[in-house]
Amino acid sequence: MSNTELNHFQKALEDKRREIESIRVMREDIAVESSGDEVERLQLASERDVAIHRFENKFTIARRVEDAFQRLQDGTFGVCERCGDDIAPKRLKAVPWTEFCVACQTTIELESAATGEFTHDAFAA
């Protein structure tokens, strides 16, 4: 991969890092509120559940972005962590923090679906 391409991906990762910094603000959405009204209490709980899911998703992506920065530093960026093949540039442009090529990501998702454990969502944006 050329230096120009690596610089492009580094900038994309930096942009995503800045976008994710809103994670601190999202914590306020998780605050526990109480209400005497049962319907309102259910609504607040539902909103809190959605906020928690969004927070967890952003946190996961933030960790993967930081991992991608590490791969840039150690020269393994763009190499599938499972099979060692190059990750397609088109995939990296879509999800620069991805750790796996499409074939390995598909296998991981199929394995996760078979076990009922969804642990890898590198396509998450």
Q: Binning pLDDT at 50, 70 and 90, where does residue 67 land?
A: very high
Our CA angle for 101, 92, 4, nearest 5°, is 130
Residue with tokens 């998780």: 30
Looking at the structure, give the CATH architecture of the domain made up of residues 3-115: Up-down Bundle (1.20)
pTM exceeds 0.75: no
- What is the per-residue pLDDT across 1-43, written as a single tens digit (0 to 9) for each? 888 999 999 999 999 988 887 665 555 555 556 667 788 878 8
| Alpha carbons 122 and 71: distance in angstroms, whole number | 15
Domain ranges within the chain, ordered by starting residue: 3-115
State the SS3 of 61-110: HHHHHHHHHHHHHHCCCCECCCCCCECCHHHHHHCCCCCCCHHHHHHHHH
